[in-house]
Amino acid sequence: MCNKTHFGMTDLRIRNIEPWVIESIRALAKAHGRTMEAELRATLEEAVSRSKQELLNELQGLQKDLTDKYALLSDSTAFIREERDLEG
Protein backbone atom coordinates (compact mmCIF):
# COMPACT_ATOMS: atom_id res chain seq x y z
CA MET A 1 0.00 0.00 0.00
CA CYS A 2 1.37 3.43 -0.94
CA ASN A 3 0.36 6.73 0.65
CA LYS A 4 1.39 10.07 -0.82
CA THR A 5 2.84 12.42 1.81
CA HIS A 6 3.00 16.20 1.84
CA PHE A 7 6.52 16.38 0.40
CA GLY A 8 6.08 14.25 -2.71
CA MET A 9 7.55 11.18 -1.03
CA THR A 10 5.65 7.91 -0.82
CA ASP A 11 5.29 5.57 2.12
CA LEU A 12 5.48 1.91 1.21
CA ARG A 13 4.12 -0.92 3.34
CA ILE A 14 5.18 -4.48 2.54
CA ARG A 15 3.41 -7.31 4.32
CA ASN A 16 4.22 -10.97 4.92
CA ILE A 17 8.01 -10.70 4.90
CA GLU A 18 9.79 -13.85 5.98
CA PRO A 19 11.54 -13.51 9.37
CA TRP A 20 14.92 -14.50 7.89
CA VAL A 21 14.63 -11.61 5.42
CA ILE A 22 14.00 -9.16 8.26
CA GLU A 23 16.98 -10.52 10.18
CA SER A 24 19.18 -10.24 7.09
CA ILE A 25 18.13 -6.63 6.55
CA ARG A 26 18.74 -5.89 10.22
CA ALA A 27 22.26 -7.38 9.97
CA LEU A 28 23.03 -5.42 6.78
CA ALA A 29 21.78 -2.21 8.37
CA LYS A 30 23.98 -2.76 11.40
CA ALA A 31 27.00 -3.54 9.23
CA HIS A 32 26.46 -0.34 7.23
CA GLY A 33 25.71 1.79 10.29
CA ARG A 34 22.18 2.57 9.12
CA THR A 35 18.65 2.12 10.33
CA MET A 36 16.60 -0.65 8.75
CA GLU A 37 14.59 2.01 6.92
CA ALA A 38 17.74 3.61 5.52
CA GLU A 39 19.09 0.19 4.54
CA LEU A 40 15.89 -0.68 2.69
CA ARG A 41 15.84 2.70 0.96
CA ALA A 42 19.45 2.26 -0.17
CA THR A 43 18.74 -1.29 -1.37
CA LEU A 44 15.72 -0.18 -3.40
CA GLU A 45 17.58 2.77 -4.92
CA GLU A 46 20.53 0.54 -5.84
CA ALA A 47 18.25 -2.03 -7.47
CA VAL A 48 16.50 0.60 -9.58
CA SER A 49 19.77 2.33 -10.51
CA ARG A 50 21.31 -0.99 -11.52
CA SER A 51 18.30 -1.74 -13.73
CA LYS A 52 18.63 1.64 -15.44
CA GLN A 53 22.37 1.12 -15.92
CA GLU A 54 21.82 -2.36 -17.37
CA LEU A 55 19.28 -0.92 -19.84
CA LEU A 56 21.67 1.87 -20.79
CA ASN A 57 24.48 -0.64 -21.35
CA GLU A 58 22.20 -2.77 -23.53
CA LEU A 59 21.13 0.23 -25.61
CA GLN A 60 24.74 1.36 -26.04
CA GLY A 61 25.61 -2.15 -27.22
CA LEU A 62 22.78 -2.08 -29.76
CA GLN A 63 23.90 1.34 -30.96
CA LYS A 64 27.45 0.03 -31.43
CA ASP A 65 26.17 -3.02 -33.33
CA LEU A 66 24.13 -0.82 -35.66
CA THR A 67 27.04 1.58 -36.18
CA ASP A 68 29.36 -1.36 -36.96
CA LYS A 69 26.84 -2.82 -39.40
CA TYR A 70 25.65 0.34 -41.16
CA ALA A 71 28.36 2.89 -40.34
CA LEU A 72 27.65 6.21 -38.71
CA LEU A 73 24.92 8.11 -40.52
CA SER A 74 25.60 11.71 -41.39
CA ASP A 75 23.34 14.61 -40.49
CA SER A 76 20.81 15.02 -43.32
CA THR A 77 19.68 18.53 -42.33
CA ALA A 78 21.73 20.32 -45.02
CA PHE A 79 20.54 17.92 -47.73
CA ILE A 80 16.88 18.35 -46.75
CA ARG A 81 17.20 22.15 -46.74
CA GLU A 82 18.84 22.07 -50.16
CA GLU A 83 16.03 19.91 -51.55
CA ARG A 84 13.39 22.23 -50.07
CA ASP A 85 15.11 25.27 -51.56
CA LEU A 86 15.17 23.62 -55.01
CA GLU A 87 11.45 22.81 -54.79
CA GLY A 88 10.69 26.41 -54.07
- pLDDT tens, 21-56? 999 999 999 999 999 999 999 999 998 888 888 999
pLDDT band at 78, cuts 50/70/90?
Answer: confident
Q: Are 26 and 38 in contact (CB under 8 A)?
A: no
Q: Are 85 and 77 in contact (CB under 8 A)?
A: no
Q: Measured between alpha carbons, how far is residue 29 from residues 5, 17, 38, 72 in Å?
A: 25, 17, 8, 48
pTM exceeds 0.85:
no
Listing DSSP states for 69-87 in one string gives HH-PPPP-HHHHHHHHHHH
